[in-house]
Amino acid sequence: MSTRTRLTALAAAAALAATGGLITATPALAAVTCASPLWKAQYFGNTTFSGTPKLTACDSAVSENYGYGDPAGVTLPKDNFSVRWSLTRDFGSGGPFRLSAATQDGMRVYVDGVRKIDLWKNVSTTARRTVDLTVPAGRHTIRVDYVAWTGLALAAFTYAPRIEAAVDTVRPLAPAGPTAAYDRDTSRTTLRWTANKEMDLAGYRVYRRLSATSWAKVSGASPLTSPSFTDATPATGQTFLYEVRAVDRAGRESAGSPDVTAVTVDRTGPAAPAGLSVVGDAWWATLAWQAVADAARYEVYAAPAAAGPFELLGTTTATSYRTDAPVNTARYYRVRALDALGNPSADAAVTGDGVDRTPPKPPVSLDSLVRVAYTDVHWKQPDGFYEDFDNGGTYHVYRSPGTTLDPAALTRVTCAEESDETSTGGVCHDLGMPEGTYVTYAVAAVDPAGNESALSAPLVVRTGDRVAPGPVTGVKATPRADGVLVSWDASPEDDVDRYVVRTGTRQADGTVQWLGSASCREGTSDPLAVLCGDLPDGETHVYAVVARDRWDNLLPTGAPEVTVVEATELDVRPSVTVARDWDLGGLGHGTVIGGPDEDGPSITWRCDTTAACEEVAGYRVSRWNTATQAYEPLHAGLLPAGTRTYTDTAAARGTTYFYTLEAVRADGGVAGTYAWNCVFQDRV
C-alpha cells in the first residue's frame, strides 16, 4: 500500500471509486498545477507513460511503498503501471547536491532533461543509487520516472544540498528587495527583504554603518531565520546604511544586498568634556577642557559640596570659563557639553581648593633711558594685572652683568624713590648700576599671593660714563671737484653716538683757527665720511674729526691727541671772466646743493625794469665747458620772454658748474648778464 498522502486530486479519485465509477484522467485532473517545491505526480496504466494520465496529483515527497497492489485512490493494473514525478524550482545560488534513489522496479532521474540516475530493470530486491553533482544557480527541473513491472512496487527519491564546508564552496546569492522603515518615536528601523531560494540556507545577517565607516553586524550571533529584522538604531541624527547578507549551512556568507538607509532623529548628546582642570588665581577660578565634537555650547555648574546642590554658573561656546571663587575654600565643578538640539553629555567633574597658584603674565616692551649716573628701566604689563596690583601686587626688577641674562648672576635691583609702578607698567630708577659697561635687565610681575611671573624678555643696556671716546683714526681729506671729502675709521668704542667734523685755517704762527662744521654735509650711504667746502677755488684748510658718545663726552678739537689733516681744494674756476651787469630785477640760486630731491642747479629771476624788460625778446642760459674753455648755451634758441626759472637737469653730481644768464633783445643785443656758480655735490 502507499505510504504517502496525496495532496490534491486523490480525494476526487476516491469518490469515483466509491460510486463504482471508472477512474480516468479528466481534463481537469490532467491540468493540475502544483506549487513549487511540490512534486507533480502523473499515474499511467502502462509502462510507457503514454496516453492520458489516470490521475494527476501533488506530492510533497517521492516516497512510495505500493506493496503488491497499485496506488491507493486510483485504479491501475496490479503490475505494469508507471508514475512520473516532476518539479521546477529556484535553486538560488545552486551548488553541490546529492541525488538518492531507491526503487523496485525501474527508476530514471533527469535534471533539466539530462539523465543522472538509471535503474531501469525489473528486480526482486530494492536497487539503490546515489549521485553527487553541482546544480547551477537559478531555476531547474527534476523529473523522476518510475515503472512497476511485477512483484513488489517501491519508489523513493530525494535531492539535498551538501553542506560540508570542504565541499560547498558556493556562496549564497545576496538577498534582494531590502526595505527600511524608521520609526522616529521608537528610534527603531524595521528591515524586510525577499527570502532566498537556497535549500542550504542557514539564515541572514544584518549589517549597519555610517557612510565613512566599516560595516558592523547588528543582528546578533546567530543567523536570522526570517526575512525581517528590527534594529535599535542610534539616535544621533545621522544617516545609517544597512545591508543584508545570506549565510548557508556551510558557513559561507553572501555579498551584501543593495544598501538601504535610515535617517535618524538626534537624541544623543556629545561625549563628556575631557581634560577638565581648574586653576585658582586669587578669588578667581579658571576651568579649561578639551573641545568636544558636535558640541554647540557648554554648561558650567558649581556647588559647595560634592553632593551638591549644583548651581548653573553660565554657558559658553569656548573651552574655558572664568568664575569668582572663595579663597582657600573647596568648590566642586561640573561641565557638560550640549549639541545644537540641546542633547547633553555626561558631566565632567573637577574640584578646586581656592589656592592661588597662578602667576601673572610677564611684563613686556622693556625700554631704557640711560644717563651717566642712573638708568631708568621702563616696562608695560599685559591686561589682567590690575586686580592683583590693587591688592598688593608689585614688580621685581633684576639685573645681571654682560649682554645675556645670566640666571645664576641675577641681582635684585633696589629701585630709587623716583621709580613708579602701576597696574599697566612701571619705571625703575636704578642708581646702583656700574658705569661704562653692559648689563642685562629683566622684570617679573608678582601677585599678592607671592606668585611671580616668568621673566620678561631681556633688555641689554650700555650704562653711561664720563669718559670721552678716544681719538679717531684714519682721518683723510681728499680734494674733489665738488669739495673736500673727509673720511675716517670707525671708533672701536661701543657708546659712540656721532662724529663731529670741524674745519679751520692755519695761522701764521702755526695755530689753527677753527671755523666749525657748518660747511660739512653728511650723505646717506657712508656714516664715516662728510663732504666739506663751498666753491673749490684752491684754498687750503685743516680738518679734525672727534667722536661724541651718547653722554655728550668728546675730546676738545684742539687736544693734542686729536688727528688734524690739511688739504688744498682744487681750483675749478673758468679761465674767462664774465662781467655782471644785470640790473633788470632780483635773482635767486643755490651755490651748494646736493640733496636727494634736487634735480640739478637752478636759477630764478625777475624783470622789473619796465623800459629795459619791454625790449627783452628772450633769455639764454650758458654753462662753462672745460674742454672747449668757453660758455655754451644749454638750449636751442632763446627761452621765451616770460620765462623766470631754469634748471640744468643734465648736470651730473660731483661737479662744480659755472653759468651765465643773458637777457637778449630782439636785435641780438644783450640787455643784462648775470654769472654764478653752483657746487652740485655727490654726498656720501
Say if 518 falls within a structural domain.
Answer: yes
Asked whether residue 372 falls in the same domain as residue 348, the answer is no
Asked whether residue 289 falls in the same domain as residue 240, the answer is no
Element holding 28 (H helix, E strand): helix 27-30
For residues 576-581, average pLDDT = 94
Per the prediction, the chain carries an average pLDDT of 93
Asked whether residue 17 falls in the same domain as residue 151, the answer is yes
Residue 582 CA to residue 587 CA, distance in Å, equals 9
Residue 518's CB is within 10 A of a number of other CB atoms, namely 9
Say if 390 falls within a structural domain.
Answer: yes
CATH of the domain at 288: 2.60.40.10
Q: Which residues are CB-contacts of 21 (< 8 A; sequence separation ≥ 6)?
A: none
Residue 677 CA to residue 520 CA, distance in Å, equals 18
Residue 34 CA to residue 57 CA, distance in Å, equals 8
Say if 516 falls within a structural domain.
Answer: yes
Convert the pLDDT of each residue in 208-264 to its tens digit. 999 989 999 999 999 999 999 999 999 989 999 999 999 999 999 999 999 999 999
Residue 131 CA to residue 133 CA, distance in Å, equals 7
Asked whether residue 530 falls in the same domain as residue 632, the answer is no
Q: Which domain holds residue 644?
A: 587-680
Which of 435, 462, 489 is the last residue before a domain boundary?
A: 462
Asked whether residue 94 falls in the same domain as residue 186, the answer is no
Asked whether residue 324 falls in the same domain as residue 394, the answer is no
Which of 231, 263, 295 is the last residue before a domain boundary?
A: 263
Q: Residue 7 has what pLDDT? A: 47
Q: Which residues are CB-contacts of 451 (< 8 A; sequence separation ≥ 6)?
A: 356, 357, 358, 359, 360
Report the number of distinct structural domains present in the chain: 6
Residue 547 CA to residue 542 CA, distance in Å, equals 17
Say if 654 falls within a structural domain.
Answer: yes
Residue 298 β-bridge partners: 316, 337
Say if 167 falls within a structural domain.
Answer: no
Say if 313 falls within a structural domain.
Answer: yes
For residues 586-609, average pLDDT = 93
Asked whether residue 136 falls in the same domain as residue 184, the answer is no
Convert the pLDDT of each residue in 3-50 to its tens digit. 444 444 433 333 333 333 333 333 434 489 999 999 999 999 999 999
Asked whether residue 14 falls in the same domain as residue 123, the answer is yes
Give SS3 for 132.
Answer: strand
Give SS3 for 435.
Answer: coil
Which of 437, 462, 487 is the last residue before a domain boundary?
A: 462
Residue 219 CA to residue 225 CA, distance in Å, equals 11
Asked whether residue 103 falls in the same domain as residue 34, the answer is yes
Question: Which amino acid, one-letter code, is at 8?
Answer: T
Asked whether residue 147 falls in the same domain as residue 50, the answer is yes
Say if 271 falls within a structural domain.
Answer: no
Query: Is 229 exposed, middle or buried (CB count within 10 Å of its CB: 0-12, 13-18, 19+)?
Result: buried
Q: Residue 266 has what pLDDT? A: 92
Q: Residue 595 has what pLDDT? A: 85
168: nearest Cα among 250, 242, 50, 89 = 250
Q: Where does the pLDDT of residue 517 fall: very low under 50, low under 70, confident under 90, or very high at 90 and above?
A: low
Asked whether residue 142 falls in the same domain as residue 28, the answer is yes
CATH of the domain at 143: 2.60.120.260
Least confident of 2-11, 77-86, 164-173, 560-569: 2-11
Residue 336 β-bridge partners: 299
Convert the pLDDT of each residue in 375-433 to its tens digit. 999 999 998 899 899 999 999 999 999 999 999 999 999 999 989 999 999 999 999 99
Cell of 6: 496525496
pLDDT above 70: percentage of residues in the chain: 95
Say if 541 falls within a structural domain.
Answer: yes
For residues 641-663, average pLDDT = 96
Q: What is the pTM of this model?
A: 0.53
For residues 496-512, average pLDDT = 93
Least confident of 113-127, 299-313, 351-365, 509-523: 509-523
pLDDT > 60? residue 2: no
Q: Residue 21 has what pLDDT? A: 32
Convert the pLDDT of each residue in 95-124 to its tens digit. 999 999 999 999 999 999 999 999 999 999
Element holding 425 (H helix, E strand): strand 425-430
List strands edge to edge, sheet with 602-605.
587-589, 602-605, 645-647
Distances from the Cα of 282 to the Cα of 242, 314, 647, angstroms: 56, 20, 74
Asked whether residue 540 falls in the same domain as residue 489, the answer is yes
